[in-house]
Amino acid sequence: MTEKQPIYIMPENVSRTLGRDAQRNNILAAKVVADIVKTTLGPKGMDKMLVDSAGNIIVTNDGVTILDEMEIDHPAAKMIVDITKTQESEVGDGTTTVAMLAGKLLENAEKLLDKRIHPTVIVKGYKLAAEKSKEYLEEISFPVEDKEVLKNIAMTAMTGKGAEGNREKLSELIISAIDQVGSGKDVNIEDIKIQKLKGDSVEDSELIRGVIIDKEAANETMPKKVENAKIVLIDFPLELKSPETETKISVSTPEQLQSFIESEERILKEMTDKVINSGANVVFCQKGIDDVAQYYLAKAGIFACRRVAKSDMEKLARATSSKIISNLEGLTEENFGYAETVEEIKKGGDAMTYVKGCRNPKAVTILVRGSTEHVVDETERAIKDGLGDVVAAVKDGKVVAGGGAVEIELASRLRKFSRTLTGREQLAVEEFAQALESIPEALAENAGMDPINVLTELKQKHESGLVKYGLNLFNSGIEDCFAAGIIEPLKVKKQAISSASEVATMILRIDDVLISSGSSSGAAGGGGMPSQFAGMD
């Protein structure tokens, strides 16, 4: 036999961390991420100011926004950022909570690893605890009984956010918006558009029974306002060919050119006449509108917008009860929509078109106002949290008490459950319970209260069966948070607990991190430790 050749299984530019080092490193990264958002949790949480290399500033309290803007590249840290995004898209709120829980679950797992408990045992215990938590959550949730509960959910979501001072008014806008677009499971959050407009103050924010689109009239000479609007939505161009498919035409005499232009104009005029004769006085076109067509439309007193986004076309259709037509034959009365007014409004240099006063609109717009861009942006984020929470509660019909009440109750039940276990998973279930308690702990800490006292008192109350008792940060009291109106949708907690435990167990199972420095991700630092985490071990 010839001498064996060495086998290369990895290229040289791959760095590798193994076993306990890999675990430590990943846990540390997750913990750093959780610690970053921790101080923003709850109504007394602080804000973060994020400044990018170009000097752009964002001031926010929103977990997912903070992490998303931070350009984190540690792979395990990125997994935490990803669950905040899932939380945001699935329920729209609870992003700080999910990141904190994941970080704490991993931090606690480390204690067990130090005691030489195998990761698979911890994973098993965490999974059991997550399953049990879901069961317990169902048991301690309440049905949504009236509008007041929904309003409280919106208020709870917006407490401590930039919009706090106007949360009463904003909550009402949210509830009316949802009421308008549907009920129960039929509510689709896509039907509620949030439109930002800098100027005036947050309290001037309003609900538009219709849609606002980021477009102005196609032509200066068109009317700026149309009352009793008869609206037609068309998704084909009012021009002869789109510029992308321009074809070459060869003409050899000036007469030929002239007749060509005339015939083009004639076709456009015929097309436009059909629109004009249909009786519509407002046109929203998803494609282009030729200058010649614009001229004739304007002359007939028609307001038209071109290149309207498809998503806006769909909202317009839902708001005005009209159909989007794809050919000139569709220009009939039954496909038209109605609105009291369609108006182009210019504010601060930006022109937008307001379609207002629709009859029973199935799509509406919350117009967010605020004195500066930062205020408008942070108010929008708060409204999104509130809207997401109320929609989740309306769809699922179940809510729980906030202020840490849920977490304390779950922890107490999990501890009892852990005593029924005989293996070492018992310890993992206990650590899971302790991780849940970190939520009320942080709420207290961020409010400058003594977390140990708060936790002790809360635990006592729950031991005596007071399931809804939590920390009310309006008056720093330990009381029935449900009665105090601190209410959250069940779905937010469910999603947060299941995502956090999923990502924690996934990270715990990793014992080998391979990072190829050839990749463009920038996650090059030795052993999977990018620069911002270097030296923190």
Question: By the criterion CB under 6 A, which residues form the site for ligand ADP?
Answer: 40-43, 45, 63, 93-97, 156, 159-160, 402-403, 439, 443, 471-474, 486, 488
- Please identify, using beta-carbon distances, which residue of 39 and 219 lies nearer to ligand ADP: 39
Q: Closest CB to ligand ADP belongs to which residue?
A: 402
Query: Which does residue 365 touch among Mg ion, ligand ADP, none (CB within 5 to 8 A, set by kind)?
Result: none
Q: Which of 17, 40, 62, 396 is catalytic?
A: 62
CB of 164 to ligand ADP, least distance (A): 10
**Helix or strand (DSSP H, E) at 296:** helix 291-299
Q: Which of 65, 84, 95, 272 is catalytic?
A: 95
DSSP state of 223: -
CB of 503 to ligand ADP, least distance (A): 15
Q: What's the CA gap between 93 and 387, in Å, rounded?
A: 9
Q: What's the CA gap between 512 and 424, in Å, rounded?
A: 24
3-state helix, strand, coil in the chain (%, to 5): 50, 20, 30
- Please identify, using beta-carbon distances, which residue of 69 and 340 lies nearer to Mg ion: 69
Place of tokens 């282009």: 288
- Please identify, using beta-carbon distances, which residue of 156 and 272 lies nearer to ligand ADP: 156
Enumerate residues 150-189 that contact Mg ion by CB under 5 A: none
Please say whether the beta carbons of 283 and 305 come within 8 A. Answer: yes
What is the DSSP track for 374-434? HHHHHHHHHHHHHHHHHHHHHHH-EEEETTTHHHHHHHHHHHHHHTT--STHHHHHHHHHH
- Please identify, using beta-carbon distances, which residue of 34 and 283 lies nearer to ligand ADP: 34
Q: Which of 385, 389, 396, 480 is catalytic?
A: 385
Query: Which does residue 486 touch among ligand ADP, Mg ion, none (CB within 5 to 8 A, set by kind)?
Result: ligand ADP
Enumerate residues 358-387 that contact Mg ion by CB under 5 A: 385
Q: Is 312 a catalytic residue?
A: no
Among 90, 93, 239, 425, binds Mg ion (CB under 5 A): 93
Q: What's the CA gap between 219 and 441, in Å, rounded?
A: 59
Output the CA angle 522-525-530, nearest 5 degrees. Answer: 75
- Please identify, using beta-carbon distances, which residue of 93 and 480 lies nearer to Mg ion: 93
Q: Which of 17, 40, 65, 96 is catalytic?
A: 96
The number of angstroms, rounded, from the C-alpha of 55 to the middle of its chain's C-alpha atoms is: 25
CB of 507 to ligand ADP, least distance (A): 20
Query: Which does residue 513 touch among ligand ADP, Mg ion, none (CB within 5 to 8 A, set by kind)?
Result: none
CB of 403 to ligand ADP, least distance (A): 4
- Please identify, using beta-carbon distances, which residue of 99 and 428 lies nearer to ligand ADP: 99
Q: Is 84 a catalytic residue?
A: no
Q: Is 505 a catalytic residue?
A: no
CB of 93 to ligand ADP, least distance (A): 5
Q: Which amino acid is at 527?
A: G
Nearest in space to 472 (alpha carbons), one of 156, 171, 41 = 156
Query: Which does residue 353 touch among ligand ADP, Mg ion, none (CB within 5 to 8 A, set by kind)?
Result: none
Q: Is 341 a catalytic residue?
A: no
Query: Which does residue 402 touch among Mg ion, ligand ADP, none (CB within 5 to 8 A, set by kind)?
Result: ligand ADP
Nearest in space to 19 (alpha carbons), one of 528, 533, 532 = 528
Q: What's the CA gap between 363 and 365, in Å, rounded?
A: 7
Please say whether the beta carbons of 91 and 389 come within 8 A. Answer: yes
CB of 536 to ligand ADP, least distance (A): 24
Query: Which does residue 42 touch among Mg ion, ligand ADP, none (CB within 5 to 8 A, set by kind)?
Result: ligand ADP
CA dist 55 to 49, 50, 51, 64, 374, Å?
A: 11, 9, 6, 20, 14
Q: What's the CA gap between 525 and 3, in Å, rounded?
A: 37
- Please identify, using beta-carbon distances, which residue of 15 and 438 lies nearer to Mg ion: 438
**What are the tokens at 232?**
């037609």
Residues at the contact surface with Mg ion, assessed by CB under 5 A: 93, 385
Annotated active-site positions, please?
A: 62, 95-96, 385
